[in-house]
A and B are shown apart, each in its own frame.
Chain A
């Protein structure tokens, strides 16, 4: 038995006694200056000659983006918030050298006025169930850290105790569904690839995260890249693939760098390559970067891009599971889906289905944003209600304004109105409500948000990201956008809504790929719930939310005034 294998199959508890500083490297923290904070920490530690003992690392997002730049000091797990470089020097002086926690830099709960020292005590975190994000903001991306936290133990278990069929059986039993947007049962996909005969098969990790506002995949890749490699290894073992690709957007340079490093580390430990753990299973990985076209997240477009051609979607069938990369059976799973795999294998499908409702087991990471106090990545069991996410975890809407709607699933998703606040967030329930879980975008809107403008925003995005291959998406989305621009610009006409619905139906029914088929969703769902708001734009030249600058907010404004205004901001 290989020594590494022996180590991996042993239960371990991580001893945490030494000081360690984790600096949040999420997008908001980066833009607020986390790098300067880290430099300041490094400087001060060096100056005091203790840099060697106390490592400082930038990790993936540690959670609540409203606290940035933030750091966590281990072993105590103290979270310091909204730091400046000066604050960083204070922390070194007081906390690390003097042993006194700096109270002034801790988070104070605005509602209870209570000081919250640890991340785990904050409502934003204690409402969450962090499984996929278990290591993010807790460990560094290095393989040694991952191994300390039972990393690659699931792989060891799969290779030693399970046949590929049993692995697939376990994934099927877990009921895991694709986290990238489609929600297709993962086990069934694996089975299809396994059962398609071929001399060569591939596993692709779809890390072409493109939904505006969603960054859970990026966070996992930056914070816990080894969980993805482990998930891909298990997928390769189960499906019979020997080669994998991580298709990641080039706009994620840190993720690309960390994945590359992680692959190198895994190869060095012989967790990638030939005869892994001396069990006769061989698998290796490569990274491919995409140029940031949203449509390349669509499986067939992604494959076109991997082939080195323009990332245009292809008609299906044949499905990639039958005929994918280089014409071979290809498994494509999203980052978050793959991050679930080690947990399922390690703890069993039985534990997994305990979380979440029937048909939608497990957790989902949402990118909570918009009109909510605490924004950031939120991982909750599927079936958690919108109200719990927005009010218990997110801390409610600032200024105590009224909740109006939440957009879920990004540009392919839909809007949920007030009546859906207590609706459990799971695949089937959201579908029934006319939206989707999608990749987990969750944008909260209050009374100041215009639903017509929201639909226009998403349609603008989808229209711009259309590859232009098929007629309904290329021209249909353009015509829809023009109609919406007309409505928000004060030039709406009777019949526009009917034309929009007609085009939306056509796009849904006849587009070539998922992008076109789902592009009308934001429009359709807002139109269903907020039709009156659309009509106010058209008939009264009025934007009830006061967001469309070409229109007045008040009722009964004169037609002429609106027209004049409309012309000044006409796009």
Chain B
């Protein structure tokens, strides 16, 4: 790429052709504010906050989309530019509900931050405001369109990253809004509830269904025995909410905090993950005996499962019929654990803490009742978990390290890496390899399947060469499926996670607003994986089938992997779903917005 010379605020610089003025300015330490922009994902030039003045141009330009040109002279903070940016923010605020104090994103909002940065103290312009109903009918995602600033990031992530595309601009002029078809409910769309739209929303227009009240209620109820399972990735992301560097493992403090919140038993979802590996590896080997169908897709991710059911129902047979770790854990908690502990399963309340908003949907699926009642009662995202700790005044940093409870708190390293992309694949390989070859692995790590890019590999297992692939994001999954259909690719086993970097980048994880570069955003989330692999290396057992608690479970309760009982409790089936039809889930009433002023 040839270099071009230009001046930004009188500073002479040389940058590659094709660079935007915004990036060029950032390169020399000038931070032009943005709002709708998310580099490499979304640049509609819609918010008009990143204005600059280029000499000899009649109007101002949005620096986020303006390519540099030779000899260009850019001024980024003339009084007129600063005034225009300020007025732009004021206009946005004039159509925004002033509910910052009661907003989900209070103190973590990009609009709020901009208002502070530009010293907005009063609005010069005011007038009528848009009022749209709150959509809280979906089990996972709540939309508050009044807080939408029409940045289209949700649209971009859904359309281009996830290849689902439920969001569009609807209506026009002052009433234009980003929303699903006819500005209806997410419930009536092929939304896969991945919650990526939540993680990129600059304001509180999108957030998860709040389950904290339900959990507080359960904790308060003396009749209930409340057990909690924590997903693998939580131990490496909850720390962020308490000021730890990203990816710091804080499992010990997290467990202590959960005890202090009042949970009767603190269990590990990685135990559920280990059981999932046992069943899923067994299923894979059975497919080899039966001759397919291949590839076998993982089914741990409810958004991916839903994506498949919606868009590729013909592949339902290819989805592993083993439930996700959350549901495996849930059903075992109310059967196996109830039996072990001598508890009435009706009195057991299972809470899961997940990096995910889709798990709220998954636990409501009608088939997730194999214990005779709802297997998992409530799910909290990492953010909701942090919220509860804040409410209770529990500071993670001041807590001692504690350990999970037995029996369902004992996990292997394989269960822990489930939280990272490629982790489910690697965990399955660690077990399948030994089962197929009968040899013990010297090195249990499979770096071939670890990557933050699309990855495929051939794993030699005795006579068998297992062809595997790992995809994250349903967009990547869609491309993979299309390639499979065209016969361009052939695999035996494919892991798909709907979120970038896997569960560490899930829709329920802490929201990171310090960057407006999508790749940097994904990289930030990937860093959480580092902690998981670190924990894995410290584990005594690193393979699911060598986890003594798992061995005991099969010896005392399930029999063997793939047994009739295991099938009844741990396996499930899939449906073909219509794209635009309401789900048969428990009905809810629309929440009424309480006027605050």
Q: Is the CB of A517 within 8 A of B59?
A: yes
Is there a chain A Cβ closer than 8 Å to B91's Cβ?
yes
| A509 in contact with B128 given A476-B91, A502-B87 (CB within 8 Å) | no
Contact A471 B88 (CB under 8 A): yes
Partner of B94, one of A293, A468, A479, A506: A479
What B residues does A469 contact at CB under 8 A? 44, 46, 150, 169, 176
Binary flags per residue of A114-152, CB closer than 8 Å to B gives 1, else 0 = 000000000000000000000000000000000000000
- Interface locus among B60-68, B340-348, B427-435, B456-464: B60-68
Bound state CA distance, A294 and B567, in angstroms?
61
Cross-chain contact A310 with B174 (CB below 8 angstroms): no
Interface size bracket, A side: 20 to 34
Chain A, Cβ-Cβ closest to B49? A471
Given A471-B46, A510-B48, A510-B51; A315-B91 close (CB under 8 Å): no
Give the contacts of A268-291 with B (CB-CB under 8 A). none
A510 adjacent to B168 (CB under 8 Å): no
Contacts of A503-540 to chain B: CB distance below 8 A = 503, 506, 508-512, 517
A501 at the interface (CB under 8 A from B): no
Shortest A82–chain B CB gap in Å is 40
In the complex formed, the residue of A with least CB distance to B43 is A315
Cβ of A157 within 8 Å of any chain B Cβ, yes or no, is no
A512 touches B45 (CB 8 A): yes
Residues of A within 8 Å of B91, CB to CB, are 471-472, 475-476, 479, 506
In the complex, what residue of chain B is closest to A309 when comparing beta carbons? B168
Q: Identify which of A466, A471, A482 contacts B128 (C-beta below 8 A).
A: A482
Q: Does B92 contact A (CB under 8 A)?
A: yes
Is A556 among interface residues, defined by CB-CB distance under 8 A?
Answer: no
Among residues of A, the one whose C-beta sits closest to the C-beta of B95 is: A475
A94 at the interface (CB under 8 A from B): no
Least CB distance from A45 to B in Å reads: 49
Is B175's beta carbon under 8 Å from chain A?
A: yes
**A312 & B169 in contact (Cβ 8 Å cutoff):** yes
Q: Which among A314, A466, A469, A499 has the greatest number of chain B C-beta atoms within 10 A? A: A469
Which of B45, B60, B62, B125 is the most central at the interface, judged by chain A CB atoms within 10 Å of its CB?
B125
Q: 8 Å CB contacts to A: which residues of B4-62?
A: 44-49, 51, 59-60, 62
Q: Contacts of B46 on A, CB cut-off 8 Å? A: 469-471, 512
- How many angstroms between the C-alpha atoms of A511 and B45 in the bound complex? 10
Contact for B62 among A315, A468, A474, A517, CB less than 8 A: A315
Instruction: Determine if A470 and B175 form an interchain contact, defined as CB atoms under 8 angstroms apart.
Output: no
Instruction: Report which of B84, B94, B126, B177 forms a contact with A509, defined as CB distance below 8 A.
Output: B84
Query: Which chain A residues lie closer than 8 Å to B126 at the CB level?
Result: 479
A310 touches B128 (CB 8 A): no
CB distance from A474 to the nearest CB of B (A): 6
Could you say which residues of chain B place their CB within 8 Å of the CB of A464?
173
Known contacts A463-B173, A468-B176, A470-B48, A508 near B127 by CB under 8 Å? no
Closest Cβ–Cβ distance, residue A252 to chain B (whole Å)? 21
Q: Are A502 and B124 in contact (CB under 8 A)?
A: yes
Chain A residues with CB under 8 A of B125? 475-476, 479, 499, 503
Q: Mask for B76-88, Cβ within 8 A of A = 1, else 0?
A: 0000100010011
Enumerate chain A residues within 8 angstroms of B49, measured Cβ to Cβ.
471
- Residue pair B173, A465 in contact (C-beta under 8 Å): yes
A472/B173 contact (C-beta < 8 A), A315-B65, A508-B59, A510-B60 known:
no
- B172 near A468 with CB under 8 A, answer yes
Contact B173 A468 (CB under 8 A): yes
Given contacts A502-B87, A509-B59, A510-B60, contact A482 B173 (CB under 8 A): no
Chain B residues with CB under 8 Å of A475's CB are 91-92, 94-95, 125, 174
Complex CA–CA separation, A468 to B175 (angstroms): 7
Complex CA distance for A479 and B88, rounded to whole angstroms: 12
Interface residues of B in 170-188 (CB under 8 A from A): 171-177
Q: Quick one: given A470-B45, A512-B46, are A506 and B169 in contact (CB under 8 Å)?
A: no
> Scoring B residues 126 to 144 as 1 if CB is less than 8 Å from chain A, else 0, what string do you get?
1110000000000000000
CA distance A288 to B45 in the complex (A): 27
- Chain B nearest Cβ from A166, distance in angstroms: 31
Separation of A312 and B45 alpha carbons in the complex (Å): 12
Which A residues are in CB contact (< 8 Å) with B171?
A: 468
- Bound-state Cα–Cα, A409 to B169, Å: 29
Does A467 have its Cβ within 8 Å of any Cβ on chain B?
A: yes
C-alpha gap A508/B59 in the complex (Å):
7
Contact call A510/B59, Cβ cutoff below 8 A: yes
In the assembly, what is the distance between CA of A506 and CA of B46, in Å?
A: 14
Find out whether the CB atom of A467 lies under 8 angstroms from the CB atom of B59: no
Q: Does A317 contact B (CB under 8 A)?
A: yes
Least Cβ–Cβ distance between A408 and chain B, in angstroms:
20
Contact of A478 with B169 at beta-carbon distance under 8 Å, contacts A463-B174, A509-B59 already known:
no
Q: A467-B176, A482-B128 are in contact. Are A472 and B48 (CB under 8 A)?
A: yes
Answer whether A466 and B172 are a contact pair too, CB < 8 Å, given A315-B62, A317-B67, A512-B45: yes
> For chain A residues 469-492, which have a beta carbon within 8 Å of chain B?
469-472, 474-479, 482
What is A's interface to B at a CB cutoff of 8 Å?
A: 293, 310, 312, 314-315, 317, 463-472, 474-479, 482, 499, 502-503, 506, 508-512, 517
14 contacts between A and B (CB under 8 A): A463-B174, A466-B176, A468-B169, A468-B173, A468-B174, A469-B176, A474-B176, A475-B91, A476-B91, A476-B125, A479-B91, A479-B127, A503-B87, A517-B59
Besides A471-B88, A478-B173, 14 new A-B residue pairs in contact (Cβ under 8 A), listed by A number:
A315-B44, A463-B173, A467-B172, A468-B171, A474-B150, A475-B91, A475-B95, A476-B125, A478-B174, A479-B91, A499-B124, A502-B87, A510-B60, A512-B45
Give 9 closest A-B pairs by Cβ, nearest first. A468-B176, A315-B45, A475-B91, A482-B127, A478-B174, A315-B65, A466-B173, A479-B125, A509-B59
